[in-house]
Structure 1
Amino acid sequence: MKLRQTNSVTVAAAKASIGRTTAFRLAKNPRLPSQKTKARGRRRPDPLAKIFDAEIVPLLRAAPGIRAVHGEEQEVILRQIHEPGLLGLSDFTDMTALGITIAGQPLDHLL
């Protein structure tokens, strides 16, 4: 909010690392989501409600490619491949020139 007091909405959004459209939306209505009224429900009845359980769910269970919600549980495997040297850190910055102290004692460290 402080950025918006001294900058335009576009500049404040860039400094806060949010999208410009989000910044305009927040400037228009700054209330928190918990303070806003709840969205209303359906305005018309669901046309598939009568046949969903009887016809559509069996189709979803039978088709292995599209049964993300219906069907037996799937095992989730997130494979991680670590290639040597690709993401390793080997450059250190000497931070002693900044004069960082802890409890009055100088701290010699590398960042």
Structure 2
Amino acid sequence: MSGTRITDQQVRLYMSKRKHHSQEIAAAKAGISVRSARRIERDALLPSQKPRRYWRSRPDPFADVWDTEVVPMLANAPELQAVTILRKLQDDHPGEYPDSTRRTLERRVRHWRAMSGPPKEVFFPQLHEPGARGLSDFTDMAELRVTIAGVSFEHRLYHFVLAFSRWEYANVVEGGESFEALSMGLQNALWQAGGCPREHRTDSLSAAFRNLADEDDFTVRYAALLEHYGMTGTRNNRGLGHEYGAVKNMCCSITN
């Protein structure tokens, strides 16, 4: 088959079938073309016994314009597709770059992007287990400029989400990030969810942690709350939005 390297197993299968079948039938049973079958019968060596060729079978058709025209185009717009570059070369050099050279150009463009192109953004996918983690955060809603009877309504939203299912809960909080607000929001979320995750994560909320004291009243009460529900507590210093998406986007959809 064109474009597929024939294996030793295919050659052995072909030679075995060739003893009892015609060349066409034996080739079909081995999954190779008749042309390859003829070549096998002329050559006694297996594919693994033949040295592989690493040199070009024909000159590079883009050698004259690669550094002077193609690379500057890619450097200026790395997202350019090979077919777009080929059309530009065909317009600038009529008759020199037929459509049959497209795949060669595509390979060269892929190689350039891998070796000299802009760095790709690195993602570290996070795998979440069902029931393993719940996350809490507060978000200030001042940017929405909510008013009630013409009076500005200053408030926050408490937001809880289960990391695996993305099940969410939110409620309005009048005031700051107090332990009472965290406790009420978390308990309401757990009651509506119908269960508790093994781990509860926050972004170092002042309602849950006091970084300057190891055992103040807030920390002790928060630890007791987690113990009551059988959860362990962890912190994420970069904010919960880094882990499961921007909180305020969800909150805006709720208030609208």
Instruction: Please tell me the TM-score bracket, short chain as reference.
Output: 0.3 to 0.5
Greater per-residue strand proportion: 2
Greater per-residue helix proportion: 2
The TM-score with structure 1 as length reference comes to 0.43
Larger radius of gyration: 2
